[in-house]
Structure 1
Amino acid sequence: MADRRARFSLGRYDWDAIAGIVAAGAALVLHLLHIIETDVLLTIALVVLALLLFRDLRREAQDELLMERSERTETAVAGLLAGLKQPDALLIGPRELRTASEAFARRARGEMVWFNVCLLMFKPQSLFDALLRPALENPAVSAVQFVLDPSERERWEQEVLPKAQAAGGYGKLREPRWVPLSHEAVSFILADTATGTTEAHLSFWGEPFMSRQPGFDIPRYVFHVQAHSDLVGQLVELDRKHRHAG
């Protein structure tokens, strides 16, 4: 290990420059001792300068080659990254669900659509504060529109309205569109973003996406459907179809 370190340390020195300095110093000493003439000293100096210039030219060529290889590598990596397709949806698990849902509501713009969601999840005040309150208090959200099955009407009046009235932004909460949705297993939230695109949080009724707790159901897994996904258009169309049906 010590020998390897010693070799590495020696390899760091610029031996061409050291040899040139030693040769120039030796020539100067010999000249001072009147052993060599001035023209010989000048010749040695020119040779040393030529060697140093050759070293610099060689190093410059190596640097250019290294830069060219680096640029080719960068281009190849950029091509690979461009060829990688972004996933249409990201699965959000129980540990990240509350944080992700709150962040989704705070990023929303314009009208938010809550389609076929289970209102029992708003029964605990903590879940209401994490899921719906950020949307109501988000100044960039102009309206919050629920599309619900008529069976959710009592829960709407008992679990959602009182909490929403006590929260800020109650005026943007619209009367739900009551349409038959008992046959629909899909549940989602649609929201526009600051870039003008639309994203969604998609879930499904029942296990394993919903977790049934005593007295209420809460989401367990949600898909964050990204703006470039064709699935966003399908969800928008599903919402539009049921709105007109209602």
Structure 2
Amino acid sequence: MKNYLKYDWDAIAGIIAAVAAILMHFLHLVESDVLLMIAVVLIALLFLRDLRRERDSEHVESCLQRTELSLHEILNQLRPSEVELIGPQNIHQAMMDFSLRACNEMTWFHICPLMFKRQSIFDDLLKTAIENPNVHSIQFIIDDNSHEAWDQEMAPKIRQCPGHDKVQEVVWASISGGVSAIVADINKAGKTECLLSFWGEPFMARMPGLNVPRYIFHVHGNSELISRMVEVVRSHRFCELTKGGE
């Protein structure tokens, strides 16, 4: 039944009527005046059908315009996400992707060197950043209490990486806060983004001898938090460099 309803019955009826009229004229069953009248009626029906379709088309076009305007209004009201929470199942891939897309200078602030004790984690996260040709400089700002862990776990691995000279001398600082961050420009657009985490539960899991991030926040470039985080990193870096100069 649905297939039959799809047919243009107005046109089919007109064709049948025209054919019937022509046959009756050839059989001398109707006069030419009657045939002319049938033709006029058929033409009138076709005009009426076109007028009806034109009205329906105008209605559809009007509905589409209203829908388009509503869609534009909805899209204008939507704001891109500023912060994205990344859980344990995706954290490793998210950090690896961040290192792959990083550009220019990359800053690792208040990270735990023991996090890179496993070679596979070091290769996927830090070695990826070191071997990324778009990353020109890598700066670590680490708490003073992590000297030993750095010398044992990270320094030897870094020296074995091609391009290890882009890793700057560590800025050792007295960091009292519980914030850890990786800050970098992303892609060639140059928008600064960061991966933000917090020490302690539930954001970081304590394991024997080390702290491992469990949840991190991907802060996008349109967030006001970026400028504040960059300022925090710069203040620690500047203070320690000033002390070193004295």
Aligned partner letter, 1:64: E
Name the structure 1 match of 2:244: none
Residue deviations 1:127-181, cap 9 Å, x none?
1112111110110000010011111111111111111122222111111111101
Q: How far did 1:46 drift? A: 3.0
SS in 1 for 2:89: helix
Aligned partner letter, 2:144: P
Name the structure 2 match of 1:229: 223
Are 2:83 and 1:89 aligned?
A: yes
Partners of 1:157 and 1:245 lie apart in 2 by: 23
Aligned partner letter, 2:190: G
Q: How far did 1:71 drift? A: 2.2
Q: 2:34 aligns with which of 34, 40, 45?
A: 40
Superposed counterparts of 1:15-94, under 5 Å: 15-94=9-88
**Matched residue count:** 239
Q: 2:120 aligns with which of 116, 123, 126?
A: 126
Partners of 1:131 and 1:237 lie apart in 2 by: 24
- TM-score, structure 1 normalization: 0.92
Q: 2:177 aligns with which of 168, 173, 184?
A: 184
RMSD over aligned CA atoms reads: 1.4
Partners of 1:104 and 1:187 lie apart in 2 by: 15
Name the structure 2 match of 1:114: 108
Of the structure 1 ranges 73-82 and 232-241, higher mean CA displacement relative to structure 2 is found in 73-82
Q: How far did 1:244 drift? A: 1.4
- TM-score, structure 2 normalization: 0.92
Name the structure 1 match of 2:3: 9
Unpaired runs of at least 5, structure 2: 241-246
Unpaired runs of at least 5, structure 1: 1-5
Of the structure 1 ranges 204-213 and 106-115, higher mean CA displacement relative to structure 2 is found in 204-213
| Identity between Structure 1 and Structure 2 (%) | 47
